[in-house]
Amino acid sequence: MSGTFVGMPAFPVAAKEAVGNPTLRGNLRHATHTIRAKRAKAVEEVSDWAELREAGKRIKDHTLRHLDRYLVQLEESVRAAGGTVHWAADADEANRIVTRLVQETGESEVVKVKSMATQEIGLNEALEAAGIRAYETDLAELIVQLGKDRPSHILVPAIHRNRGEIRDIFRAEMSEWGRPAPDGLTDTPAELAEAARLHLREKFLRAKVGVSGANFMVAETGTLVVVESEGNGRMCLTLPETLISVVGIEKTVPTWRDLEVFLQTLPRSSTAERMNPYTSTWTGTTDGDGPRVFHLVLLDNGRTDTLADEVGRQALRCIRCSACLNVCPVYERAGGHAYGSVYPGPIGAILSPQLRGTGSEIDASLPYASSLCGACYEVCPVAIDIPEVLVHLRERVVQGGPVVREGNRVVLKPAKGHAAERAAMRAAGWAFGRPGALRAGQRVASRSRRWHPRTLPGPGRAWSGTRELPAVPAEPFRDWWQRTQDGKGDAK
Of residues 380 through 409, those in contact with other proteins by CB under 8 A are 388, 391, 393-399
Among 12, 82, 178, 182, binds other proteins (CB under 8 A): 12
Amino acid in position 88 = A
Count of all residues that appear for the chain in the document: 492
d(CA 265, CA 382): 9
Q: Is 287 in the site for other proteins (CB under 8 A)?
A: no
d(CA 176, CA 180): 8
First-to-last CA distance in the chain? 56
Q: Is 478 in the site for other proteins (CB under 8 A)?
A: yes
Q: Is 34 in the site for other proteins (CB under 8 A)?
A: no
Is 325 or 334 the residue whose CB approaches other proteins more closely?
A: 334
Among 22, 184, 288, 429, binds other proteins (CB under 8 A): 429
Return the DSSP state at 263.
Answer: H
d(CA 58, CA 478): 48
By DSSP bridging, strand 216-218 and strand 223-228 are antiparallel
Is 269 or 442 the residue whose CB approaches other proteins more closely?
A: 442
Pick from 314, 363, 253, 300: nearest CA to 93:
300
SS3 content of the chain, % helix, strand, coil (to 5): 55, 10, 35
Is 79 or 333 the residue whose CB approaches other proteins more closely?
A: 333
| Closest separation in Å from C-beta 36 to other proteins | 10
Q: Is 378 in the site for other proteins (CB under 8 A)?
A: yes
CB 342 within 8 A of CB 119: yes
Is 287 or 451 the residue whose CB approaches other proteins more closely?
A: 451
Q: Please give the residues from 303 up to 332 whose contact with other proteins meets the rule CB under 8 A.
A: 310-311, 329-330
Q: Is 412 in the site for other proteins (CB under 8 A)?
A: no
Edge-to-edge order in the sheet of strand 252-253: 252-253, 216-218, 223-228, 278-283
Is 11 or 262 the residue whose CB approaches other proteins more closely?
A: 11
HSE value, Cβ hemisphere, 13 Å, CA-based, for 227: 24
Q: Is 428 in the site for other proteins (CB under 8 A)?
A: yes
Is 89 or 472 the residue whose CB approaches other proteins more closely?
A: 472
- How many residues bind other proteins (CB under 8 A)? The answer is 72
Q: Is 426 in the site for other proteins (CB under 8 A)?
A: yes
Among 1, 8, 11, 270, binds other proteins (CB under 8 A): 11
Among 190, 287, 477, 483, binds other proteins (CB under 8 A): 477
Of 148-156, 215-223, 277-285, 478-486, the segment contacting other proteins by CB under 8 A is: 478-486
Is 41 or 197 the residue whose CB approaches other proteins more closely?
A: 41
Among 70, 204, 343, 377, binds other proteins (CB under 8 A): 377
Among 3, 6, 7, 16, binds other proteins (CB under 8 A): 16
Of 10-18, 262-270, 282-290, 296-304, the segment contacting other proteins by CB under 8 A is: 10-18
Q: Return the number of other C-beta atoms located less than 10 Å from residue 337's C-beta.
A: 20
Among 172, 193, 420, 445, binds other proteins (CB under 8 A): 445
Q: What are the C-alpha distances in Å from 138 to residues 51, 153, 185, 207, 277?
A: 32, 13, 20, 15, 14
Q: Is 421 in the site for other proteins (CB under 8 A)?
A: yes
Angle at the Cα of 137 (from 146 to 152), degrees rounded to 5?
60
| Closest separation in Å from C-beta 335 to other proteins | 10
Q: Is 482 in the site for other proteins (CB under 8 A)?
A: yes
| Closest separation in Å from C-beta 386 to other proteins | 12
Q: Please give the residues from 446 up to 475 whose contact with other proteins meets the rule CB under 8 A.
A: 459-460, 462-463, 465-470, 472-473, 475
**Residues in CB range of 40: below 8 A, 6 or more apart:** none
Q: Please give the residues from 347 up to 376 whose contact with other proteins meets the rule CB under 8 A.
A: 367-375
Q: Please give the residues from 190 up to 249 whose contact with other proteins meets the rule CB under 8 A.
A: none
| Closest separation in Å from C-beta 24 to other proteins | 12
Which residue pairs from 350-353 have beta carbons closer than 8 angstroms and sit at least 24 positions apart in sequence? Answer: 350/312, 350/315, 350/384, 350/386, 350/389, 350/390, 350/393, 351/306, 351/315, 351/318, 352/1, 353/393
**What distance lies between CA 337 and its chain's CA centroid?**
11
Is 106 or 487 the residue whose CB approaches other proteins more closely?
A: 487
